[in-house]
Amino acid sequence: MGLYASLKVFGIQIGYMKHDEVDNDCNYYILFEEKYETVMDEEQKRRVFEFYTNLENKKVEFKIYTNILCTLETDGPNQYMDWWRISLEDFLREFQ
């Protein structure tokens, strides 16, 4: 039981977390975001990878927009779309 991602890529976010001294909170800043109704094609992925290679600071996080399957519901599995964090290795494997 739990949450499972299909890992079919319908979108991508590239961003970073930064601690805000004023309100003593962490905020997520999005540098790049694209989201589609269909699975991303090779040209769309190439543009994302090009954006990443041009970043000066590569200390970023990656999230893909994908199908999520929730098996925690008592009335059966539930599917929905949401952002799912992936590692640098997974990003390179998918977008390089």
Identify each DSSP E strand in the chain by its residue range: 3-5, 11-20, 25-35, 61-70, 78-86
64 exposure class (CB count in 10 Å sphere: 0-12, 13-18, 19+): buried
Q: What is the pLDDT of residue 75?
A: 62
24: amino acid identity, one letter = N
Total-model pTM: 0.82
Q: How far apart (Å, rounded) are the C-alpha atoms in residues 90 and 80?
A: 22
Domain coordinates in residue numbering, the chain: 3-95
Torsion angle, CA of 31/41/3/82, rounded to 10 degrees?
50
Q: What is the pLDDT of residue 20?
A: 76
Regions in the chain scoring below 50 on pLDDT: none
